[in-house]
């Protein structure tokens, strides 16, 4: 995780940058301090925290992230910026004691992605010069539509979001396949036969949607603390969608699938969209 501040100088510069972003239009629900997100690029999807994140619209997520404000956590330059790729912001502002550095955030950060250095006494004036090209709507449209309207937005790496979404799909595919394999192997060990494949798949998707409902706040928090009770989740999904068609009736398998999903994936709204999941299609 990134530290919020390493020195009084950095704390002062960080505050100045955040205040300027608010004046540009990143206010209310569009600007978050100590924002947490899952690093899809890293193994095991570790949770990271960026000191401040500015978004083009709500809900917040990698598809709406515009600017990251980061303070060194023992790393600097490309090594530091690499930790924040999964946030989805195409622009990062690194706060150092000597000033701030502007970075293009790509799928593979390098020293060539540094866009400029701003001395402490020039931060207000320099950020004010960027106001037109850094407005929430401008960056949001450019990164998601590819409408780079002018050189003022040429800092956007249009390969970042496709790379992020590819990682999301690959990790979700691997998780579902490995979960099915683990459940089938355990069932066969206990029963000396294979489970009904259709019933097992229906169980998997019903629990996937239980995880979606939990992550979107559609189930009471007490039912979602993980790993939660599988029977409670299965009942909730069946009632929500009015579908009581049979699933694999084997509680130990329910537990295996639930534990795997709760350890392996988070279905915040943008992640759900990129993974191609649409509520109601496979719940039953």
Q: How far apart are CA 257 and CA 277, in angstroms?
A: 18
> Looking at residue 276, what is its pLDDT?
47
Distance of CA 262 to the CA centre of its chain: 16
Would the CA dihedral through 246, 248, 251, 253 be positive or negative?
Answer: negative
- Does some domain include residue 281? no
Which of 128, 157, 186 finishes a domain?
A: 157
Specify the number of domains making up the chain: 2
> Looking at residue 156, what is its pLDDT?
59
Considering the domain architecture, whether residues 87 and 206 belong to the same structural domain is answered as no
> Looking at residue 234, what is its pLDDT?
94
Read off the CATH number of the domain in which 47 is found: 3.90.1570
Kindly report the backbone phi and psi dihedral angles of residue 57, in degrees, each rounded to the nearest multiple of 5, phi listed first. -165, 170
Considering the domain architecture, whether residues 31 and 13 belong to the same structural domain is answered as yes
Give per-residue pLDDT as tens, 40-94: 788 777 888 999 999 998 878 887 899 999 998 789 999 999 999 989 899 999 9
- Does some domain include residue 208? yes
> Looking at residue 163, what is its pLDDT?
63
Domain limits for position 82: 8-157
69 has which bridge partners?
A: 52, 93
Considering the domain architecture, whether residues 56 and 134 belong to the same structural domain is answered as yes
Which of 157, 187, 214 finishes a domain?
A: 157
Pairing of strands 47-55, 31-38: antiparallel
Give per-residue pLDDT as tens, 111-136: 999 999 999 999 989 988 988 889 99
Q: How far apart are CA 183 and CA 185, in angstroms?
A: 6
User: CA-CA-CA-CA torsion for 63, 67, 69, 72, nearest 10 degrees?
Assistant: 70
- Does some domain include residue 284? no
């Amino acid at each position: 995780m990134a530290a919020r501040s390493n020195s009084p100088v950095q704390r002062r510069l960080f505050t100045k940058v955040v205040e300027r972003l608010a004046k540009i239009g990143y206010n209310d629900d569009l600007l978050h301090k100590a924002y947490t997100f899952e690093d899809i690029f890293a193994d095991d999807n570790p949770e990271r925290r960026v000191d401040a994140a500015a978004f083009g619209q709500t809900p917040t997520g990698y598809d709406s992230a515009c600017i990251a404000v980061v303070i060194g956590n023992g790393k600097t330059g490309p090594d530091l910026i690499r930790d924040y790729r999964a946030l989805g912001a195409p622009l990062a502002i690194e706060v150092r004691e000597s000033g701030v550095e502007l970075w293009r955030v790509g799928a593979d950060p390098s020293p060539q992605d540094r866009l400029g250095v701003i001395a402490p006494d020039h931060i207000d004036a320099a950020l004010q010069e960027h106001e037109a090209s850094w407005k929430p709507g401008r960056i949001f449209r450019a990164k998601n539509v590819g409408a780079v309207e002018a050189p003022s937005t040429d800092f956007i790496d249009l390969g970042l979001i496709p790379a992020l979404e590819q990682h999301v799909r690959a990790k979700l595919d691997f998780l579902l396949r490995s979960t099915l394999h683990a459940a089938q192997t355990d069932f066969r060990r206990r029963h000396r036969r294979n489970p009904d494949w259709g019933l097992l798949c229906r169980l998997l998707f019903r629990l996937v949607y239980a995880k979606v409902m939990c992550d979107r706040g559609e189930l009471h928090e007490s039912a979602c603390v993980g790993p939660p009770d599988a029977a409670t989740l299965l009942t909730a999904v069946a009632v929500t969608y009015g579908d009581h068609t049979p699933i694999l009736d084997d509680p130990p398998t329910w537990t295996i699938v639930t534990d795997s999903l709760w350890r392996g994936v988070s279905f915040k709204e943008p992640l759900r969209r990129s993974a191609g999941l649409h509520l109601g299609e496979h719940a039953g």
